[in-house]
Amino acid sequence: MQIIKKPSPPTGLRRRLWRLPIRLYRIGLGPLLGRRIMLLAHIGRVSGRQRQAVIEVIEHGEHGYVAASGFGAEADWYQNVMKTPEITIQIGGRTLQVTATPLPADEGAEIMARYGPRHPAAARQLCRIMGFAIDGSAEDYQEVGRRIPFVRFAPRAC
């Protein structure tokens, strides 16, 4: 695994395209995106205003949904949910009240090592977006998983 460059969030037209799934969720077409794209509704850490972001679900199970912050700990959504972890997510047509919890680097490594073989094309693309060149080996995926922040979104009791 090599670090090619530190990724920066998209700007301009690329940002608009990146945020297109938010519009799909807003008009009720979120279910078309399947269960791998999640809409986060969170509170801005500075403004205190409602914000939205779309991120890929890396893993889900009985303990909730896991996502990676591809733009690192500097990503706005990541900083916002670390400050105010009680948020709402929408996956397809399902809306959940959740609590966001950062995962330790070793757990991120394990998750990424499982994700890579399950979704090889998506994993390679995700790594490229995050600025990593990989050979597709389990060791490379583990190393990437140690270097990026992962978050678990666990359902809250209503």
43-83 per-position pLDDT tens digit: 999 999 999 999 999 999 999 999 999 888 989 999 999 99
Q: How far is CA 38 from the centre of its chain?
A: 8
What does the alpha-carbon distance between residue 65 and residue 142 come to, in Å, rounded to a whole number?
Answer: 19
Q: Containing domain of residue 46, as a range?
A: 2-155
Three-state DSSP string of the chain:
CEECCCCCCCCHHHHHHHCHHHHHHHCCCHHHHCCCEEEEEEECCCCCCEEEEEEEEEEEECCEEEEECCCHHHCHHHHHHHHCCEEEEEECCEEEEEEEEECCHHHHHHHHHHHHHHCHHHHHHHHHHCCEECCCCHHHHHHHHHHCCEEEEEECCC
What average pLDDT does the segment 2-23 reach? 78
What does the alpha-carbon distance between residue 54 and residue 49 come to, in Å, rounded to a whole number?
Answer: 17
- Can you give the CATH number for the domain in which 120 is found? 2.30.110.10
Question: What burial class does residue 27 get, using C-beta atoms within 10 Å of its C-beta: 0-12 exposed, 13-18 middle, 19+ buried?
Answer: exposed
Total domains in the chain come to 1
Q: Which residue has the higher pLDDT, 88 or 129?
A: 88
pTM value is 0.89
For the chain, give the mean pLDDT. Answer: 91
- The pLDDT confidence band at residue 2, using thresholds 50, 70 and 90, is confident
